[in-house]
Amino acid sequence: MSCEHLICARCAGPVVEGRCAACRAARTEMHHPGTFGVSPVLIGALLLALTLLIALKIGLN
């Protein structure tokens, strides 16, 4: 879902234009969803590191 087709109930303008505080807040929330501060790149790096540690552990036994 994008904010391009949303209309603000407060100012009746397109949310994408950000005419009022409600529009700007909705636009920010749409484009920056809460991910608990963890980016997909960081998750991928952590999975790769975990996989390498497991591979090393299995290889040493």
- Ranges of each domain in the chain: 3-60
**What global pTM score does this model have?**
0.46
Pairwise CA distance, residues 33 & 2, whole Å? 12
pLDDT band at residue 15 under the 50/70/90 scheme: confident
pLDDT value for 58? 87
Indicate the SS3 state at residue 19.
coil
The answer, yes or no, to whether residue 47 has pLDDT greater than 60, is yes
- Residue 61: pLDDT band with limits 50, 70, 90: low
Give the residue-averaged pLDDT of 3-21.
Answer: 87
